[in-house]
Structure 1
Amino acid sequence: MLKSDKDTSAKSLRRGGGLEHWAERHLRYLMLAPTVLILLALTIFPSIYMFYAAVHRISPNPDLPWEFVGVGNFARLLSDPQFHVALRNTVVFTLVAVALEFLLGLGLALLLDRFIRRLSFLKTVLMIPMMLPPIAVAITWKLIYEPQFGVLNEIMFLLGLPVQAWAGDVNLAMFSIIVADVWQWTPFVFLLMLAGLASLPVEPYEAAALDGASSWRQFWDLTLPFLKPVIAIALLLRVMDALRLFDLVFILTGGGPADRTKVLSLYIYQVAYRFADPGYAAAISLFVLFVTIVLSTWFMKRMRLAE
């Protein structure tokens, strides 16, 4: 009897010790499990639901069943003129805005890194726009562009120049959106470029200076190649963010005038909520997701090949 009790106790200890050992070995996974489950619930389920909705025609009447249409919603993209307008506007905005943000961000980073390193408060000032909520930025620029009492037209009047409608002009609306976006997100590129410059090795520049290389030559032959990974990350993040622009357009122009600033994110919103066609809106969303993944993959492969 005593031997049996001892055997049972030993088995319990071994079982308990094995469980404790397993928990210790997998502690990191156990601690991450709740976060992973929450992320899966917030990403996997909506993604599956979006795929399911994209192949159905969904009626605004919740009592009517969903009608399976297969690739019908995706086929509509080819013949939808409003989608083509939104796609063109999105491409124009992304190319121009990201290019300006990169050039200005890199230029400011080089300026602060070489000439005014001691004025650290300027870095804080330059990063303020990036830290503001997009809605606040959009409302601020809406007041700046106001035709009657906006500060921009006040400056134009004082300079003797004709006042403009800015966000309400068909020729200036997209330009106004780009200026506001560049103002807000150039600090993001500037911060990444400044961090990249701070991590550059000193020895190659000392050797280049001894060889008589000019500052311009050092920039092309040393700085740009060293910064290539940082530049790739900055451009990739900004392109991905520009493709889903919504706040500025929604508040400043609403997609007008004459659809000159209607971008894909705004069109998805209009299709889903104004035209009550969530199935087609899901198809457009999947198209944007697909384009973003393809561009990101292609861009990263190009950067690896260029190294």
Structure 2
Amino acid sequence: MTRLAVRQRSTGRLMIFGFLSPTLAILLFMVAYPIFSLIYYSFFNFSALRPAAGMKPVGFGNYKFLLSDPDLWQRFIFTGKFVFLCVTLQMLIGIFVGYQLQKNFRGRDLIFTALMMPMMLSPVVVGFLWRYMFNSEWGMINYLLTVVGLPKIDWLGQTTAALWAAAAADTWMWTPFIILLATAAFRGIPETINEAAEVDGASPAYRFFRITLPMSAPVLFIALILRLIDSFKQYDLFFALTGGGPGSSTETVSFAVAKTAFSYFYTGEASALAVVLLVIIIGLSMILVRHLNKMGERF
């Protein structure tokens, strides 16, 4: 390699580093520093409300205390149920509706725009809206039940009913996101492939499960990963919808982090719990991304 080529390569690397350095600095300040601070505080008995008391090192004491707490495991179980229920409903409904919207028909754009509107709202607004709708006395949901002859349900006063109420609110808000990605993935499939399969006599079900779904699987898998991550750290919806009740039975892990940090001001324990949640989300994401890479190699 000539001296000129070496100099050009070095100059190119310096330019790349110069363009990336502002972004790297922002990420270092906005992401890396808070994460390392979180990990650091998790090893201390510390309260942000009483900084004068100092920070007492406890090693893994906060982690041992949290992981031996049966209430925390109940929150993990409830969070897992919520994530499974929401993501399953959103993927099934989103794929079905997205498959219908990828077809060209009159009024399609208007319907598509209307379906995207819930996604534009704040989760807190959605939580309060559905809280009024699920009111046990004058809510619209119970009114519709009485119209068809069914008894009223105390939606937000029972753990199981509150779980379904929260899943309904979250599904109403975030299914449009799945619809958006599914529609884009389906419309990205060349028409010639489906036309050739139709000429060969393939049924609509066969074309969907053997052609459309496999070819759009990478995009749908990305949507699945994003919704899993977001559902796992759900807090604001439950804050507005149930307040964590009845009792603390509808507290997610994120809700428990916020409650421990800003209601009880146990900063060390809250940091440890946040680290545990972060490790779970990162681990789950790495597993899913690995499967996504294998899927990309296949298709």
Q: TM-score, normalised by structure 2?
A: 0.89
Letter in 1 for 2:31: T
Which residue number corresponds to residue 40 of structure 1? 28
Q: 1:56 aligns with which of 25, 38, 44?
A: 44
* 1:76 Cα deviation from its structure 2 partner: 1.9
* 1:158 Cα deviation from its structure 2 partner: 2.6
Deviates more, 1:47-56 or 1:199-208: 199-208
Which residue number corresponds to residue 202 of structure 1? 191
Counterparts of 1:281 and 1:117 in 2: how far apart (Å)? 53
Q: 1:162 aligns with which of 146, 151, 163?
A: 151
Which residue number corresponds to residue 104 of structure 1? 93
Cα deviation digits, residues 110-132 of structure 1 (max 9, x gap): 11223646521000000000011
Return 5+ residue gaps in structure 2 as ranges. Answer: 1-9
Equivalent residue of 1:162, what SS? coil
* 1:24 Cα deviation from its structure 2 partner: 9.1
Which residue number corresponds to residue 200 of structure 2? 211
Q: 1:233 to 1:25 in 2, by over 3 A?
A: closer
* 1:136 Cα deviation from its structure 2 partner: 1.1
* 1:274 Cα deviation from its structure 2 partner: 2.1
Q: How many residues align?
A: 286
* 1:249 Cα deviation from its structure 2 partner: 0.7
Say whether residues 1:268 and 2:266 are aligned partners. no
Say whether residues 1:89 and 2:78 are aligned partners. yes
Letter in 1 for 2:183: L
* 1:142 Cα deviation from its structure 2 partner: 1.1
Say whether residues 1:127 and 2:91 are aligned partners. no
Which residue number corresponds to residue 269 of structure 2? 280
Greater Rg by CA? 1
Q: 1:76 aligns with which of 65, 89, 92?
A: 65
* 1:46 Cα deviation from its structure 2 partner: 0.9
Q: Residue 170 of structure 1 contacts residue 258 of structure 1 at CA under 8 Å; is this kept in 2?
A: no
Equivalent residue of 1:218, what SS? helix
Which residue number corresponds to residue 179 of structure 2? 190
Which residue number corresponds to residue 293 of structure 1? 282
* 1:252 Cα deviation from its structure 2 partner: 1.2
Equivalent residue of 1:231, what SS? helix
* 1:75 Cα deviation from its structure 2 partner: 1.6
Counterparts of 2:161 and 2:104 in 1: how far apart (Å)? 35
* 1:269 Cα deviation from its structure 2 partner: 1.1
What are the within-5 Å matches in structure 2 for residues 240-259 of structure 1?
Answer: 240-259=229-248
Q: TM-score, normalised by structure 1?
A: 0.87
Q: 1:172 aligns with which of 130, 145, 161?
A: 161
Structure 1 runs of 4+ with >6 Å offset: 22-25
Letter in 2 for 1:163: K
* 1:23 Cα deviation from its structure 2 partner: 8.7
Counterparts of 1:300 and 1:39 in 2: how far apart (Å)? 21
Cα deviation digits, residues 126-153 of structure 1 (max 9, x gap): 0000011111111111111122222222
Counterparts of 2:15 and 2:291 in 1: how far apart (Å)? 39
* 1:192 Cα deviation from its structure 2 partner: 0.3
Q: Residue 124 of structure 2 contacts residue 239 of structure 2 at CA under 8 Å; is this kept in 1?
A: no
Cα deviation digits, residues 83-122 of structure 1 (max 9, x gap): 1011001100001100100000000011122364652100
